[in-house]
Structure 1
């Protein structure tokens, strides 16, 4: 029986990835690295270190050690300046109801400033634990983000369920040995084939989570 539910943030709780993607594209352009928004969606879930390594590597370049913080700060500023993200319809009400029966956590690849600001705005008082990309050494698809969330929730992996919308996030959950529900917010559902269950949209996700709570009752 599940006792905890761990959510990715961007694309699962808030419709924010378009603003993340635009910010990354603009920042990489400052370093003469051409990146498309679709490419950002493909590697969604990785923390800033992973994102920087991926695209510098594709450009045949090696990032200098001090550049990670510099790029993160620029990307954060771009995001916060242009962010028009909104919570997905019905999710706050759903999670408010789930909180009576489950421990709830967020495990996101985004930096802590952005994650906490979005959660405080759209989901105040909902989550027991928030793990950001800066809280782990290894971002998704490494299992560390979900392993850390599970540990902080005080649960076992078999007691937890993950909700993810990105291939690297699904891979991270499965690498941690956790049951995973995929939701294809921005990508084709076939890209989430490693998830245990793939729902079609947020309405179906809300129905699935509500059923879990009803079965406990």
Structure 2
């Protein structure tokens, strides 16, 4: 059983439990930005399968799962087996590009994660990204220790804006949703976190502030934030 993340202090012989908060991170656009690899992998797949990519498809597909992108955005097929085949091929192409070219974290991410780790704030990935994509990137970065819990597309049946992925992340952290802050870069993810009853901090990596107004706070990069700011979300000045 996973450990419960909380602080304990002794007070005149009694143990007083002080619940902390949890940090849930979307992956692409928050920890890394591999959008160019995703776009190239769709282009390679389209060429390989002799398919057309509709104008503006990439923006329309942003934050959505392949099972929705392929039939609804690309209009390639409605057949479940073909959707899965296209999806598997696309993700293999994506990982090949990432391994060949490497991947870097977004500016400010590493010091921010180190700050959370130092302050014993539990962290979790909650993303519609396939698990192997995240595991591959973490391996390339050498960051396996930052995220002991990873919730991915394989763990949920509904994509964002449904809050399922974030609610499961909170459950795995053993925290109620209102004790979690979600870090997102896309409107659909903000909608999901809001539907889950969580605090939301948006990062302007992939979208301008004008498209992220439903978040509780908007920042340019994660290391603009302090522990005091995060605790203030939960009325905890400790």
- SS of aligned partner of 2:27: coil
Alignment deviations for residues 7-45 of structure 1 (CA, whole Å, 9 cap, x no partner):
111011012122112212332453623145x54244322
**Size of the alignment, in residue pairs?**
210
User: CA RMSD of the aligned region, Å?
Assistant: 2.3
Judge conservation of contact 1:49–1:68 (CA < 8 Å) in 2: yes
Q: 1:134 to 1:52 in 2, by over 3 A?
A: farther
Query: What displacement does 1:209 show?
Result: 4.1
Structure scoring higher RCO (CA < 8 A, sep ≥ 6) equals 1
Q: 1:195 to 1:62 in 2, by over 3 A?
A: same
- SS of aligned partner of 1:66: helix
In terms of fraction of residues, the more helix-rich structure is 1
d(CA) in 2 for partners of 1:145, 1:27: 27
Query: What displacement does 1:69 show?
Result: 2.1
d(CA) in 1 for partners of 2:120, 2:189: 24
Residues 1:18 and 2:36 are matched in the alignment:
yes
Q: Which protein shows a greater Rg?
A: 2
Judge conservation of contact 1:3–1:101 (CA < 8 Å) in 2: no
Unaligned runs of 5+ in 2: 1-18
Which residue, out of 204, 207, 219, partners 1:187? 207
Residues 1:78 and 2:93 are matched in the alignment:
yes
Residues 1:101 and 2:120 are matched in the alignment:
yes
d(CA) in 2 for partners of 1:132, 1:47: 11
- SS of aligned partner of 1:163: strand
Describe how 1:15-54 pairs up with structure 2 within 5 A. 15-28=33-46, 30=49, 32-35=51-54, 39-54=57-72
Query: What displacement does 1:165 show?
Result: 0.4
- SS of aligned partner of 2:225: helix
TM-score of the aligned structures, taking structure 1 as reference length: 0.86
- Which deviates more from structure 2 when the two are superposed, residues 150-159 or residues 82-91? 82-91
TM-score of the aligned structures, taking structure 2 as reference length: 0.79
